Amino acid sequence: MTHFADRLLQACESKGAPVCVGIDPVLEKLPAPLRVPGADVHQAADAIRQFVEGVIDAVADLVPCVKFQSACFERYLWPGVEVYHRMIELARQRGLVVIGDAKRGDIGISAEHYAAGNLGDHVLPGSGLGPDALTLNSYLGGDSVQPFIDLSVKQGKGLFALVRTSNPGGDAIQGLALRDGGTVADAVAKLVAQWGDASVGGSGYSLLGAVVGATKPQDALRLRKLMPRQIFLVPGFGAQGGTADDVRACFNPDKRGAIITASRSVLFAFDKKPGDWKRAIADAAVDLKQQVRAILA
């Protein structure tokens, strides 16, 4: 069983760029042939399944990693959740490293249940294998994160804890100044580094990574120092406004340690490019790789 961080970094190397395509399907934005106006939850979930199958097919040979936005599937209740799990399985079969972006967080036995339900449960028949990694919200503290770490160690999985987000309101809590110096996000970063320290792979990176938004290069540089052994999952490139400097700041000097995610700019690339929608998505994935390679060159 290969350590998650080693597996992710190796996939980035073999596919030629540390990028991730975010799969955040939105019913109203599907390619015209897949649209189903007035759909009920079952029809909606099925249309999304067809779209995601196409997306996986378009990008599987091009990128190392995809990230599934749980909210976009949960919206369609249990039919949507079934599509979420089945498409994660398909993506893994196609050789992609798969991140479940569910931002879960709870305490005690609830945290154990979230871990088992979202990262696969090796003791429960028929429970599926789940994504390779999961995003977490660690506001509840270390005992809310530990059950996820324990299961990840056991199953070769990974985690990304929310540290710094790129949305306009992200500062309200994450940016608060602490009495002992630094911000709340800095303190969370130190905790994440500490929680992940016992689970470092051969690559030198922990199975516990961090979500660090790509819109503030000063932040990213500081967080990079506070979390040398965390792989940064960096959303906000492209549609959300992250720049080349923002992205560069997320990597270690050896140009490893981060994975750059783009969602809308790849997923809905067909909006700006008439013709075959799968081709437009594949082209956008290649563009993303080239942009990130250029930034790191």
Query: What is residue 259's three-state secondary structure?
Result: strand
Among 21, 23, 68, 138, binds a second copy (CB under 8 A): 138
Among 181, 189, 236, 244, residue whose Cα is nearest residue 214: 236
**179-189 burial: b if 16+ Cβ within 10 Å, else e:** eeeebbbbbbb
Q: Choose between 113 and 248: whose C-beta lies nearer to a second copy.
A: 113
283 burial (CB, 10 Å; 0-12 / 13-18 / 19+) is middle
Among 61, 143, 197, 271, binds a second copy (CB under 8 A): 143
Tokens of 119: 């990262």
- Binding track, positions 238-277, relative to a second copy; x by CB under 8 A: ----------------------------------------
Active site members: 103
Rounded least distance, CB 138 to a second copy, Å: 7
Rounded least distance, CB 240 to a second copy, Å: 8
Q: Choose between 95 and 128: whose C-beta lies nearer to a second copy.
A: 128
Tokens of 174: 């994450």
Rounded least distance, CB 1 to a second copy, Å: 22
- Pairing, β 232-234 against β 133-136: unpaired
- What residues contact 208, with CB distance under 8 A and at least 6 apart? 145, 149, 152, 158, 159, 160, 161, 192, 195, 196, 199, 230
Amino acid in the structure at residue 238: G
Return the range that interacts with a second copy (CB under 8 A); candidates 1-9, 47-55, 70-78, 286-294.
70-78
Tokens of 98: 């798969």
140 binds a second copy (CB under 8 A): yes
Tokens of 95: 């050789």
Return the range that interacts with a second copy (CB under 8 A); candidates 52-60, 123-131, 215-223, 279-287.
123-131
Residues in 190-209 that interact with a second copy by CB under 8 A: 191
With residue 165 as reference, give the H or E element that holds it. Answer: none
37 binds a second copy (CB under 8 A): no
Residues in 77-116 that interact with a second copy by CB under 8 A: 77-82, 85, 103-111, 113-114, 116
141 binds a second copy (CB under 8 A): yes
Q: How far apart are CA 130 and CA 151, in angstroms?
A: 12
Among 127, 228, 271, 273, binds a second copy (CB under 8 A): 127
Would you say 83 and 73 are in contact if contact means Cβ atoms under 8 Å apart?
yes
Tokens of 172: 């309200």
Rounded least distance, CB 266 to a second copy, Å: 15
Q: How far apart are CA 6 and CA 206, in angstroms?
A: 9
Rounded least distance, CB 178 to a second copy, Å: 6
41 binds a second copy (CB under 8 A): yes
The residues of the shown chain that bind a second copy, judged by CB under 8 A, are 24, 26, 38-42, 44, 69, 71-72, 74-82, 85, 103-111, 113-114, 116-118, 121, 124-128, 137-144, 162, 165, 167-174, 176-180, 184, 187-188, 191
